[in-house]
Amino acid sequence: MMIYSKTFRQPEPLSQKELYNKALDYLSRREYTRYELQQKLAQYTDNQDDIASVLERLIERNLQSDKRFSENFIHSKQAKYGNGRLIETLKQKGVDLSEIHEFLPNKTQETTTAVAILHKKLGKPHKLSANEQQKAYRFLQYRGFSAEVTRNALKIWQKEEED
**Among 82, 74, 90, 77, CA closest to 145:** 82
pTM: 0.84
143: domain range?
A: 107-162
Domain assignment present for 37: yes
pLDDT of residue 16: 92
Distance CA 110, CA 113 (A): 5
Q: What is the pLDDT of residues 19-70, one digit of tens each?
A: 999 999 999 999 999 999 999 999 999 999 999 999 999 999 999 999 999 9
CATH code assigned at 137: 1.10.10
CA distance 127 to 159: 10
In a domain, 76, yes or no: no
**Chain segment 83-140, per-residue pLDDT in tens:** 999 999 999 999 998 888 899 999 999 999 999 999 999 988 888 899 999 999 999 9
Contact between 124 and 91 under an 8 Å Cβ cutoff? The reply is no
Number of residues that make up the chain? 163
